[in-house]
Amino acid sequence: MRSCSFISIYIIVIIIIVTPLLIYHAQAQSQSQGIDSIIQLPRSGSSRTRTRTRSRRFLSIADFGARGDGFHNDTQAFLKVWEIACSLSGFINIVFPYQKTFLVTPIDIGGPCRSKITLRILGAIVAPRNPDVWHGLNKRKWIYFHGVNHLSVEGGGRIDGMGQEWWSRSCKINTTNPCLPAPTALTFHKCKSLKVRNLTVLNSQKMHIAFTSCMRVVASRLKVLAPASSPNTDGIHISATKGVEIRDSLIRTGDDCISIVRNSSRVWIRNISCGPGHGISIGSLGKSNVWEKIQNVIVDGAYLYNTDNGVRIKTWQGGSGFASKITFQNILMENVSNPIIIDQYYCDSRHPCKNQTSAVQVGNISFINIQGTSATEETIKFACSDASPCEGLYLENIFLRSYFGGNTRSYCWQAHGSAQGYVYPPVCFSTSSDLIRQNVLLEPNPAINSV
């Protein structure tokens, strides 16, 4: 009897202690139901498993009011989901679902964030078609990220700038129109440890992707597409950015496939298919008499076809600074105008540019293993400054014949350097005692012209 009584008392005590805990747990679970339906948290497993799973929470923009029909404005939903994701800790995924099209007007997305965010674009993000939507807003921006660290943008979807109406209003299409700014589709400003991969970005109003004042950037497996006639639609633009890798990407636009400008360094570009467009460009540099530098750039592995330029360095007269330690290597060209070019007299203006003595110093530039066909007779052009000649140019294993079967030639002005291996057409470097203009026209070579 005593034993049974003791057991009964023990059970009653357990009920008294445990029941309030169960009620409290049920209330807490009910209060957090709204969050848990969006943020997927683990329920069991080892501490390592719980940590790993907790770091992969997902927020769908559709749960924040986005319609995803391509007609209703989903900008506010984007801002809401970003605000929550930015405030949380750990690794957060913002998802733009499959088979949905999200209309987004100009948007400013800022950091810093507590979390490390992945923007997972599975469907599409599109811009308004009408440029008048930008009235009273910054016309240079559409989707603008700034001050965000450890951001990834990926997912296999597309970002469409709907730039056709912007192009038709451009002064480069209609010279009677004033030259006005137009938005860059995706701008990343002052971001660190950034990844942009596995996306299609197309029909931007102006530049497609810009990295400005960023550090540690990897852009890979991208398709950047716009008509050859679209004005100023650079594919990827790098400005004042350090530590950039761009690889395994297809770029077809109306301007530079990749452009690298002011104060950028440690840039590595590899396995790029480029064309149509204006090729891969360093610059322009030194506009409006400013000081700028570019250094430690490697382009290793590229296929350029039907482009206005191949690999190019361009500077304005009157600037200062330097472009140095730049290598272009392992490049195949097909029907490319100006395959290899350094132009220190660049002038993208409606009016002639005045002659000036100061210039950005260009030196220690290498061109190695470059082959293919040129759409113009002048396949190698080094037009360097009188006051600041190009120094330390190096060519090795160059073979550039005419796409149409004629002669090819090189042109040099104030260019100093050396060559090794087979170089065709032969380069026309100046020597220290011969700084006169050289324009070498080659005699026909049956062996070469028959290739």
**pLDDT tens by residue, 379-429:** 999 999 999 999 999 999 999 999 999 999 999 999 999 999 999 999 998
Closest CA to 351 of 231, 168, 175: 175
* Adjacent-strand bridge partners of 247: 220, 270
Closest CA to 226 of 249, 253, 197: 253
> Which CATH superfamily is 269-451 part of?
Single-stranded right-handed beta-helix, Pectin lyase-like (2.160.20.10)
Please tell me the predicted confidence (pLDDT) of residue 434.
36
Cα–Cα distance list, 226 to 2, 135, 143, 230, 382 (Å): 89, 24, 18, 7, 30
pLDDT in tens, 17-57: 344 434 434 443 433 333 333 333 333 334 443 434 344 59
- Helix/strand/coil for 445: coil
- Helix/strand/coil for 296: strand
Helices (H) and strands (E) in the chain, counts: 6, 29
Please tell me the predicted confidence (pLDDT) of residue 350.
78
Is it the case that residue 442 has pLDDT exceeding 60? no
Please tell me the predicted confidence (pLDDT) of residue 431.
53
Active site residue 150: no
Lowest mean pLDDT across 126-135, 198-207, 328-337, 345-354: 345-354
Helix%, strand%, coil% for the chain, nearest 5: 15, 45, 35
How far apart (Å, rounded) are the C-alpha atoms in residues 245 and 284?
Answer: 20
pLDDT in tens, 211-239: 999 999 999 999 999 999 999 999 999 99
Catalytic residue among 150, 189, 278, 416: 278
Tell me the domain boundaries of the chain.
Answer: 269-451
How far apart (Å, rounded) are the C-alpha atoms in residues 168 and 172?
Answer: 9
Cα–Cα distance list, 344 to 58, 236, 283, 411 (Å): 51, 23, 10, 13
